[in-house]
Amino acid sequence: MTESTLPAETVAAMQEIVARYPHPRSALLPMLHLVQSVEGRVTARGIEACALVLGISSAEVSGVATFYTMYKRHPVGDYHVGVCTNTLCAVMGGDAIFDRLKDHLGIGNDETTADRKITLEHVECNAACDYAPVVMVNWEFFDNQTPESATQLVDDLRAGVEVRATRGARVGAWREAERVLAGFPDDRADEGPAAGPASLVGLRLAHERGWTAPPGEDSRDADTGSQPAHPTAASERADTHRAESETKVADAQGDAQGSMSVDRDGERRDGA
């Protein structure tokens, strides 16, 4: 196995990552993100460096790098634009957004524009279904997109206009985002809102209806002022409170919908 040709500071950063974990091999995923932050993709010499630092074979590193889609084997542009085309986003407009961007940018899936600014990829679920359709730029969320808003988004990115995520920070370059994923913060974590309206519906309902969380394991009993006798007691109370809350929601929904029901033939009829 030959010596890595990555910069010495990159290898030192890899060793810093390894020191965070009780088992060195657990550091491989963030190490690969670090490689991408330096190389712009997972390169052969990046794989070799990871293998040397961890004391494993380059084949083992390659097996991980080729398994996860966030690790790229060809250069990525300044901005990785991922359009969710999984079921909910697709039916809400994700497919239309992806088709528009392909035509507008003149590239296909997992391709990069000639100016090296935009890499376009359809993504199988961005884990934000309540904001569908969702586009991500360097893993920052852009919610409730349309073909028009997504087109404006990529035009702004190419023009160097500062872009801010719907729920998150200013969008930096892809390599900067990769360094953050490697575990080196960019001090943008507290920029912008962390949650949107759809995420806060439950909290709003709790405030409106006076619901509160059950006491924690170390909290005093709300009724007696005494400490829970055993952790399972707190758990049982939590289950009871949760069931009561779910019942309240179901009752409220039932009141709103009236007493209509559906018979076995699919016809609606009034309940008794």
Chain centre distance of CA 47: 25
Residues of the chain with pLDDT under 70: 1-4, 218-272
Which backbone phi and psi does 268 adopt, to 5 degrees? -80, 140
The span from the CA of 111 to the CA of 121, in Å, is: 7
Helix 58-65, helix 44-54: angle, nearest 10: 120
pLDDT given for residue 137 in this prediction: 97
pLDDT given for residue 8 in this prediction: 95
Q: What share of the chain is helix, strand, coil (3-state, %, to 5)?
A: 45, 10, 40
Q: Tokens representing 185?
A: 């913060």
Which backbone phi and psi does 185 adopt, to 5 degrees? -60, 150
pLDDT given for residue 258 in this prediction: 47
pLDDT given for residue 85 in this prediction: 95
The span from the CA of 116 to the CA of 121, in Å, is: 14
Helix, strand or coil, per DSSP, at residue 81: strand
pTM: 0.74
The torsion of the CA quartet 71, 77, 79, 84, rounded to 10 degrees, works out to: -50
Residue from 174, 183, 173, 189 nearest 13 by CA: 183
pLDDT given for residue 52 in this prediction: 96
H and E: helices and strands count for the chain? 10, 7
Chain centre distance of CA 55: 31
